[in-house]
């Protein structure tokens, strides 16, 4: 649990208490490539950031859930504003299920 307080000179006061969202994992969340291969699109502001996410996905297949992939999908919809370069670097990974585990067979930057 964390508390954040903000008091401004102009009389603006804000207080918030944050609590972690303890989510129960189910086996459905790990079904990312059960019947057909899944393409995971990745974008970032630098080439290194895209490689970092690719390495994380390849090295931690047990941590890759549908919720995690949904967060990556939201970044692909990012529209840069005038003062931002956006996320010009793109990459993809194709996930295929092989017997009992998910394999990342292809990645391109």
Residue 44 CA, chain-centre distance (Å), reads: 11
What are the tens digits of pLDDT across the range 17-44? Answer: 888 877 776 666 556 656 677 788 888 8
What's the rounded Cα separation, in Å, for the pair 58 and 103? 8
Model confidence, pTM: 0.61
DSSP state of 63: G
SS3 state at 105: strand
- The two tokens of residue 42 are 């990745």
pLDDT band at 88; cut points 50, 70, 90: confident
pLDDT in tens, 47-85: 898 889 888 888 887 777 777 888 887 777 767 666 677
């Amino acid at each position: 649990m964390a508390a954040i307080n903000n008091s401004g000179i102009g009389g603006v006061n804000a207080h918030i208490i944050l609590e972690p969202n303890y989510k129960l994992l189910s086996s459905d969340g790990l079904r990312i490539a059960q019947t057909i291969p899944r393409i995971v699109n990745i974008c970032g502001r630098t080439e290194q950031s895209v490689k970092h996410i690719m390495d994380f996905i390849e090295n931690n297949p047990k941590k890759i859930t549908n919720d995690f992939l949904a967060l990556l999908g939201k970044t692909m919809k990012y529209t840069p504003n005038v003062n931002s370069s956006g996320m010009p670097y793109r990459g993809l990974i194709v996930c295929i299920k092989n017997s009992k585990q998910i394999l990342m067979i292809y990645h391109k930057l």
